[in-house]
Amino acid sequence: MNVGFGVAVLISCLGWAAPARSWNAAGHETVGAIADHLIAGTPAAAQVNAILGMELRTASVWADCVKGVSLQDGEFRYTVSARYRECRPFEDAAGQARMVDYVARNSDACHRGGAGHSGTADDAASAVPCHKQYHYTDVAIERDQYVRSEVGTSDHDIVAAITAAVRVLQDRPAPAPFSIKDKREALLMLVHFVGDLHQPLHVGAIYLDPAGHEVDPDRGTFDPDTETRGGNQLLEGHRVLHTEWDDIARDLGPDHLVMSGDADARALPKTAGPPAEWSMAWAGDTLRVSHAVFDGVIFGAENLYQHTWPMTLPPGYAERREALQRRQLVVAGARLAEIVERLFPPPGHRKATGKPRAEEGAAHGR
Ligand SMILES: [Zn+2]
């Protein structure tokens, strides 16, 4: 068999089998819409419009839409045109070319073993395209902080991806293995990944042994078979825990939470330190929230054939989940607004990099 074909088959099979890992489109649109609302009328909103030509709400799903690009006969192609309504704004010829270009540049550099890589053996071995790994990290729920040396983190996880996008928006180069073409691409990444960073199962992970007992992957020898992949391997009947947290109720959607969550969004304390380090602090916050995802959940023995574990959720779980989802969506929207406002301050303010505003002219190359 021709090698290129083999790789294409392998990748498309993985693409098909790979579980979903993201707030659903409505969740991302809610985060973007809250941020749009908070920055309305500011210079930051004008900059967003100049760079993206659209609101954050619309832009928020782009990084998931690019998952519609796959390798066919040795060539990357966008193959899901018109399938997802939220992706339509990116499906004209130029938009498809941009998605293909991004995926081609961000598919395999992370498998060449960048410095500091401590990603899971699972992701490296299964050749999950790098850009799909940018959406999450898998820190054990035994931890309280995000630290890059922990199991489940990597130099191309969601925390690193946000930092890379922020650096490009600050006129600095993106660190390897990221390839970020311009500020438009960086902002498209930022708006999506800030949303994902607040989905608890994109950050906190439970590791289980075959008996369904919790294990701490940072103690002793790490066994990749204990990974539950963001809760994608945890099932109640046919319901997947990760999906349960991705899906949001109607009143948490963009047309509702922007107004009902407004006071909470404005009351959120500001983030300290330089913006390139904010994703690490925010990941720690989400990690602590993720502990509650597993409170009272009982796991059974692993189904070794499917590599899944059955689970039983405690009474009242859905209400608890919805309250936490609401909190996380509001916080994500407020933080997206905060970082965009910091990156694009009013004229006269110095940029976060310390460069005078006048030097910012260096185009937003589309
Ligand atoms: Zn995502």
Residue 23 Cα to ligand 1 middle (Å) = 7
Residue 194 Cα to ligand 1 middle (Å) = 9
Residue 63 Cα to ligand 1 middle (Å) = 6
Query: Residue 350's pLDDT band (boundaries 50, 70, 90)?
Result: low
Residue 190 Cα to ligand 1 middle (Å) = 11
In the block, which residue shows the tokens 């009242």?
316
Residue 135 Cα to ligand 1 middle (Å) = 5
In the block, which residue shows the tokens 């898998």?
138
At residue 18, does pLDDT exceed 50? no
**Within its chain, how far is the Cα of 282 from the centroid?**
12
pLDDT at 11: 36
Q: How many residues does the chain have?
A: 366
pLDDT at 111: 86
- Other C-beta atoms closer than 10 Å to the C-beta of 114 total 18
Lowest-confidence pick of 178-187, 195-204, 249-258: 249-258
Query: Residue 112's pLDDT band (boundaries 50, 70, 90)?
Result: confident
Query: Residue 23's pLDDT band (boundaries 50, 70, 90)?
Result: confident
Average pLDDT, rounded, for the chain = 88
Residue 86 Cα to ligand 1 middle (Å) = 13
pLDDT at 349: 76
pLDDT at 168: 98
Query: Residue 290's pLDDT band (boundaries 50, 70, 90)?
Result: very high
pLDDT at 365: 31
Residue 350 Cα to ligand 1 middle (Å) = 32
Q: Taking Cα atoms as reference points, which of 237, 234, 197, 240 lies closest to residue 214?
A: 234
Render pLDDT for 293-346 as a digit per residue (tens, 0 to 9): 999 999 999 999 999 999 999 999 999 999 999 999 999 999 999 999 999 998
pLDDT at 356: 40
Q: Are 333 and 261 in contact (CB under 8 A)?
A: yes
pLDDT at 289: 96
Residue 271 Cα to ligand 1 middle (Å) = 23
Residue 305 Cα to ligand 1 middle (Å) = 28
HEC string for 78-95: ECCCCCCHHHHHHCCHHH
Pairing verdict, β 309-312 and 298-299: antiparallel
Residue 2 Cα to ligand 1 middle (Å) = 32
At residue 95, does pLDDT exceed 70? yes
CA distance 168 to 102: 15
If one compares 185 and 122, the residue with the highest pLDDT of the two is: 185
Render pLDDT for 203-261 as a digit per residue (tens, 0 to 9): 999 999 999 999 999 999 999 999 999 999 999 999 999 999 999 999 999 999 999 99
Report which secondary-structure segment, H or E, holds 122: helix 121-126
Residue 160 Cα to ligand 1 middle (Å) = 14
Render pLDDT for 125-139 as a digit per residue (tens, 0 to 9): 558 999 999 999 999
Residue 249 Cα to ligand 1 middle (Å) = 18
Residue 141 Cα to ligand 1 middle (Å) = 20
Residue 192 Cα to ligand 1 middle (Å) = 6
CA distance 20 to 29: 17
Residue 74 Cα to ligand 1 middle (Å) = 25
At residue 22, does pLDDT exceed 70? no
In the block, which residue shows the tokens 């659903």?
24
Residue 42 Cα to ligand 1 middle (Å) = 27
CA distance 169 to 167: 5
Residue 211 Cα to ligand 1 middle (Å) = 31
pLDDT at 240: 95
Six token digits for residue 130: 């790098």
Residue 64 Cα to ligand 1 middle (Å) = 5
pLDDT at 361: 33
Residue 347 Cα to ligand 1 middle (Å) = 33
If one compares 5 and 322, the residue with the highest pLDDT of the two is: 322
Residue 84 Cα to ligand 1 middle (Å) = 15
The DSSP secondary-structure symbol of 173 reads P
Highest mean pLDDT among 1-5, 108-112, 307-311: 307-311
Residue 18 Cα to ligand 1 middle (Å) = 13
In the block, which residue shows the tokens 């068999």?
1
At residue 14, does pLDDT exceed 70? no
pLDDT at 126: 57
Provide the residue type at 213 as one letter: H
